[in-house]
Every structure is written in structure tokens, then in C-alpha cells.
Amino acid sequence: MQLRQLEYLVALDRERHFGRAAAACHVSQPALSTAIRALERELAVPLVKRSGRFEGFTAEGERVLPWARRALGDVQGLTQEVGRMRTGLEGALRLGAIPTSLAASTLISTRFRAAHPRMRVQLTSTTTRGIAQGLESGELDAGLMYLDNEPLPEVEALALWHERYLLLCPDGMLPGESARVTWAAAAKLPLCLLTPDMQHRRIVDAAFASAEARPDPVVVTNSISTLIAHARSGLAAVATQVWLAVHPLPPGLRAIPLVAPELTHAVGLVAPSGGQRSPVVAELLRLFAPFELDAQLGG
């Protein structure tokens, strides 16, 4: 059994297509297919369903894949550990982040790069499910996500900040100089909200429901910047203090804390639990103390 056979198998799982998997591994399609067939002969079980094209994995193949990912991860960790002893960490930190955390991701990548200048950071915007799949498949080293809402099983977590919720609205939309606004009152405004598939939106919907309010957003988007842009155009929006800590509030907009209920959620890093940490993950978690970023992000 050779490592490249396991690499080809994992690439095929990721790409779900022989040609794309071969291109990702920088080999020809016949070479990839031949290597996987040789692995099947060595293990004496079929791993891939075929009928002229990729049709998925056999039951045996599905059971072999996690072992292949772990083996490749162990080899990568070994390489990183030896490299760290010789010249310091090299390679990439692969970090998946939910969209509402992206504004604060610079605080993480900047500190990591300062400690390990030979490393690069590959930052991917994704969902909680995408982070879970990436950690399981070995395509991500760590994730940046909510820790106390829809938490992932079997992960090690480090909370970095508390997320709070604000109503963004144009000057003059609300009477007087309101210092706070209730979720029930916010539900009556023309709203731009994130799409229901995003965890932030599910948190927001739960807050409205607890206030016995049912919002009827006039615009929905999966983009935080688009949310802010629509607030500037005359709508109200629910955002977090993290975005405003990194991007100053544009002229003509107000940010008012939402209350009744007054919510906070913990956001932080997650990495696979169990087994030996990779050097990259160990160094990433070592650089931060619990809730350390609250001071910078207004948590």
C-alpha cells in the first residue's frame, strides 16, 4: 500500500469524478484509476462503484475512506513536526469560517502569521455543516464558528469572543434617540436579513420567536456586506458588533442594541478532538486565551 493510492482515493471522494480527481493530484486519469484498482486488489475488496464513470463508493470503500484520511493526516502532521524542529512551521493553516465571523478572522490570521511567518493561511467562508465536513474529511485544520448554538460533536473548542446583536437602521427610522430597541419592535420594520440556511439567521429567528414576533423581511441575502449596503439604502438589518468593530459604522446609520431578549453567543475555534493534535492546530490554539478577543471586538 502506498500513500499516493490513499491520496487518490481521498481526492476521488472530494471531487466525485475520476478526471477531476486526477487533475487535482496532477496525474493522468488512467494512472489514478490503475492505482486505485491496485489498492482494491491488495485489500481484496472493491472500493469504488464503476460503470464507465464514478458512481460512488462501495460499503467497503466508505469504511476505508476514514482510515485513509487519518493516515494522510498523520503523515502531514509528521512532516510538519519535523519541519518545525528544523526551520519552523511551513505549509498552510486551512481555516473554515462562518460568514459572520469573517470580519474578525484577520485578528487570527495576523497573529498566526506573526508567530509563524513561513506559514500561509487558507481561509474559506463556509457553513457550520461545511466546517464539520471539512474537519471530518481532513480538508480543514480548524473552524471558526458558534460554539454554544448547534455545537459540533467530537471537537475541541476554544471560545474567542461573545457575539452581540444590533439593529442597524438609518437615522430617523426610529423616533427620538433610542438607546435600545426590542426584538418585537424591530420585527415591524422593513428588514434585510440573512438567508434561513445561515446559523446567524436561525439565531435571529429564535430571538424574534421568543419575543412572540414574526418578521417579514423584504430582502434576504447570504452576504454580510450586502446586509450593510441595504441598511444604508433605507432598510433595517440585524448585525453583530464584530462587523462594526472592524468596519466603522457608515455615516447616516445607527447601531442600536437589541433587547428583550438580550442575547450573546460564544464564537471561537474548533478542531478535531481525540488523537494527537497536528503541529499547526497545536500552535493555533496555543496563541489565544479564552474570550481574549472580547476586548477588541466589544463583546
Residue 238 lies in a domain: yes
Question: DSSP assignment of 171-185, as one string?
Answer: TTSSSTT-S-EEHHH
Of 29, 5, 31, the residue nearest 17 (C-alpha): 29
What's the pLDDT at 118? 86
The enclosing domain of 20 has a CATH number of 1.10.10.10
Q: Are residues 177 and 31 in the same domain?
A: no
The CATH number that applies at residue 105 is 3.40.190.10
Residue with cell string 414574526: 214
Based on the domain organization, do 188 and 251 belong to the same domain?
yes
**Domain presence at residue 85:** no
Do 178 and 257 lie in a common domain?
A: yes
Domain count of the fold of the chain: 3
What per-residue confidence (pLDDT) applies to 242? 92
Nearest to 227 by CA among 103, 127, 126, 143: 103
Domain shared by 73 and 217, yes or no: no
Both 165 and 180 in one domain: the answer is: yes
Q: Is the peptide bond before 248 cis (omega within 30 degrees of 0)?
A: no
Pairing status of strand 191-194 against strand 219-221? parallel
86 inside domain: no
- Cell digits of residue 40: 482494491
Q: Do 218 and 150 belong to one domain?
A: no
Residues 165 and 257 in one domain: yes
Does residue 87 fall inside a structural domain? Answer: no
User: Cα–Cα distance between 71 and 76 in angstroms, integer?
Assistant: 9
Query: Strand locations in 28-140, DSSP E?
Result: 48-50, 54-57, 91-97, 119-125
Domain assignment of residue 170, yes or no: yes
Q: What is the pLDDT of residue 172?
A: 86
Q: Are residues 215 and 277 in the same domain?
A: no
- Give the separation between CA 10 and CA 13, rounded to whole angstroms: 5
| Same-domain pairing of 176 and 260 | yes
Residue 32 and residue 176 share a domain: no
Verify that 271 and 202 share a domain, yes or no. no
pLDDT along the chain (299 residues), means of 10: 83 86 88 89 88 83 83 69 60 92 94 91 93 86 94 92 95 81 96 93 96 96 90 93 86 93 96 80 93 90
Do residue 102 and residue 66 come from a single domain?
A: no
Q: Which pLDDT does position 220 carry in this prediction? A: 96
Are 26 and 11 in contact, with CB atoms under 8 Å apart? no
- For residue 249, the enclosing domain spans 161-264
